[in-house]
Structure 1
Amino acid sequence: MSVTLPILKDEVQEHPVPSAWRPKLREIVDAFKTGNFNLRDLECVEPLDEDTSVGIARNISAYGCTLAALPDDSWKTSVCQWQYEYWKVLVDLFSVEEGQSDLVLHVNVFEKGDSFEYKVHFVYVP
């Protein structure tokens, strides 16, 4: 049985990434895997400017491994926290060669009525 994780507005502590956001976060990672670093064709995702998309591509390439699709294990360590106007989300990324990598995807999620908008901040090694 699968547990649905709620969306919590808690500015005091981190929480697991809500179930409702996971498909879109997987879609973002899949876009990066296929070389779509500007994210122009993803619904509810703000397209990235040239500097940010080039920086993300450079960081992934410099890491030296092939980005993998997000497995369920990613949600065991990925977190989010309410920042008064949006949620800061840190998703642990995986690579084909090593499994869980040191790379993280940093995304800000904004509430827009009954839906959410995603703004990728960066991919980096913290």
Structure 2
Amino acid sequence: MKSVVDAFARGDYELKDGLSGVTPVSGETARQVREYIQDYGAKLIELPPQSWDTSVCIWMGNRWDALVDLWTEDEGRSDLVLEVDVSEADAGYVVAIHMVYVP
């Protein structure tokens, strides 16, 4: 998850270089993430370890749904979250990115 947020903080919303264990991001999802972060008006920073203290996940029977708290330069922990689901795969886990928003 950290590598996804780190890429978003660099402005790589399409994850152009690909990330192991992360499904490709559609153009529509990349656009939504970029626009929502830009509209929020703060600079996203890399995911700090303390983000896991407040992020949440729930087991849905065949996957984990998670809301990961995002951090910005000015605010620290922001109101933004990254919504993903995490499924088991042969070699570990696969993360699917859905959107960034303020719940």
Question: Which TM class, normalised by the smaller chain length?
Answer: over 0.9
Q: Is it true that 1:123 corresponds to 2:89 in the alignment?
A: no
* 4+ residue segments displaced more than 2 Å: none
How many residues align? The count is 102
Deviations 1:14-70 (A, max 9, x none): xxxxxxxxxxx1100001011111124111111111111001000000000000111
For residue 39 of structure 2, the aligned residue among 56, 62, 77 is 62
- Superposition deviation, residue 72 in structure 1: 2.0
Identity of aligned residues (%): 42
Deviations 1:73-117 (A, max 9, x none): 211111111111110011111100111100001110010134000
- The TM-score with structure 1 as length reference comes to 0.77
Which runs of no fewer than 5 residues in structure 1 stay unpaired? 1-24
Q: Which amino acid aligns with 2:64?
A: W
AA paired with 2:55?
S
Secondary structure at 2:95 match in 1: strand
Match of 2:6 in 1: 30
- Look up the match of 1:3: none
Does the residue aligned with 2:50 lie in a helix, a strand or coil? Answer: helix
Q: Is the 8 A contact 1:39 1:47 kept in 2?
A: yes
Structure 2 unaligned blocks of 5 or more: none
Give the RMSD, CA atoms, in angstroms.
Answer: 1.0
Moved more, 70-79 or 90-99: 70-79
Greater CA drift, 110-119 or 87-96? 110-119
Matching of residues 69-80 of structure 1 within 5 Å: 69-80=46-57
Residue 73 (structure 2) aligns with: 96
* Deviates most, 77-86 or 55-64: 77-86
